[in-house]
Structure formats: C-alpha cells, structure tokens
Amino acid sequence: MALPTDVFELADSIPRSSFTKVNIAGFFVYLYGIDELTPDQAKDTTVFIHVHGRTRTYKDAEEMAHELLHQQRARGGTKKGLVVATLDNRNHGIRAIDTMSIQDWKGGNPKHAQDMLSMMKGIELDVKTMMDFLEAYFDGIFTPTEYIMTGTSLGGHVTWDVLAEDPRISKAIIIVGSTDLTSMLVERLGGYSSVSEVPTGTPEWPKSIERLYVERDKRLREIKGKKILILNGDIDPLVPSKFTRPWLDQCAASNEVAFVEQEGFGHGVSYQMMDSVADWVLKVLV
C-alpha cells in the first residue's frame, strides 16, 4: 500500500471511464464518464471541472477523473450523474504558443507576474464559456444541472477566481491554490514580506500589475455562502499554506469550509488528497 505522502498515481487495476472531446469556441473540452451515465443520471448531471497547473496539460485531470468515477460506481453509484471535464489551459498543451511565458522568474521569465495573472483571467473566461455552451453541445446526451470546480496549483488559483466571480459555482475544491497571490509573488520574487518592500522601479513587479493582483485578492475576500474544500501540503515550497490562512481567519465563517493541511507533503496531489476529493464530492453529489 502506498504511503499517504506519496504523489497520487492511478493504479493499473482501476477501470478507465469513457473519454469524449468537443471543440467549444476553438479549444477542446475533454470529458470523462459520459457513456456510463444511466438514463436518469443523464437528465441530472453534475459536471466536475478540473483546471491543471502551470507547465502541465489536461492529462493531469485524467487520473483524478478515472479514480473519482470509479469510486462513485464502487460505492453503489449516485442518483445524480457525474462527468469530469477539463481543458488545456491557455498557452499549454496543444494551445502552447510561447513556452517561456509559462515559466516563473527562476525559469528565466522576467514577466512571470504579468503572464500568470493574464493567463488565469483567460482560463477563467474559458471555463465560463464551457459552462455557457456545454449543454448545447450535448443536447439529448446529458444535461448539466450543476458545476463543481477544482484545480491544482495554477488551477487552484483559477478555481478561487471562478468561485468569486461566477454564481454557478457554489462548490469548489482548491488543491494547493492561493487566496493571496500578491504576498506569494513578492516573496517568490525576492523574499519580500510585503509589497512595500519591493524597490520602486523593479521591472519584474510594476505597479500596474501590483494593482491587478491586489484587486484580485480583494475580490476573493468577498466570497460568501460557498461550500469549499481546501487541500494543502504543510511543506509546500511553491504555494505555502501561510498565504491561505489569513483568508480562513477572515472569510471561512461566511462559507462552509473544510481545510486539510497534510503533514509532510509538498506541492501536488497525494493519495490522501485524492481520497479527500472523492469523499467530499460523493457526499455533495445529491
């Protein structure tokens, strides 16, 4: 048996669910589990949207999709249907046009701050477009009646944004995502503890991008009435939990929040996290 701190990998013994792809607005949406829906489930289907991390591709969602759908069936199924949907983020996978702009400062990209936030906004728009049109593309096959968002790393940041901006998302799972990108980025840039410490004129951190990050983080503090599962590793060097804790202190009481920080785990999805995702989703799949 794998140790709970191991990075999650799908076992060969887990059956693979059906796979479908559709072009919506010029990008592919990849869906898992459509063929397994019963007629009743197809009339009332929850779509679980996963957004992958920076430098990764839609394939990151595949193992999670197969595991989640297998656990749904192994536990006796659910009245509501479940389909997992994902996509290649902008400038990733088959949508890649500039590999340098998905790197961070250490990777040689001087515009990491601009590239990450603008890409996040684009992914948010893609997710909203997918939700707008998915039913029309699968008319007569299945009917999306609810959407749940999740994402890992960059995808976790985007999940926070969609949770704040789109009323269709009332439930979300954030895996190693941050509510305070401003503080996280300036620490990543030069070990600064606040934006006030960044020297004026620093080319990697212009005031114009700082304003956009501050506005983004402020919107997240206005989230209310949502059901949220937050999963972090306590030794994550890229997206430390310390940047989420202030949001928990200020905003958790206005939402239904479960926060799980896994001891001895870093950046990624562990077996324990995957079990938490499945348990949480199948409990809310009513």
Decide which of 285 and 99 is more confident: 99
Q: What is the pLDDT of residue 285?
A: 86
Domains of the chain: 19-284 (3.40.50.1820)
Half-sphere exposure of 192 (CA within 13 A, CB side): 16
How many CB atoms are closer than 10 A to CB 44? 15
Helices and strands (H and E) in the chain: how many: 8, 8
What contacts 24+ positions apart, CB below 8 Å, involve 193-199? none
pTM (predicted TM-score): 0.96
Under the banding of pLDDT at 50, 70 and 90, the label for residue 2 is very low
pLDDT in tens, 25-43: 999 999 999 999 999 999 9
> Which residues on neighbouring strands pair with residue 28, listed in sequence order?
23
Under the banding of pLDDT at 50, 70 and 90, the label for residue 121 is very high
pLDDT in tens, 222-265: 999 999 999 999 999 999 999 999 999 999 999 999 999 999 99
Under the banding of pLDDT at 50, 70 and 90, the label for residue 286 is low
Cβ atoms 134, 99 nearer than 8 A: no
* Helix, coil or strand: residue 172: strand
> Which residues on neighbouring strands pair with residue 133, listed in sequence order?
none
DSSP string, 140-166: TT--EEEEEEEEETHHHHHHHHHHHH-
DSSP string, 232-274: EETT-SSS-GGGTHHHHHHHGGGSEEEEEEETT--SS-BHHHH
Rounded Cα distance, 262 and 48, in Å: 23
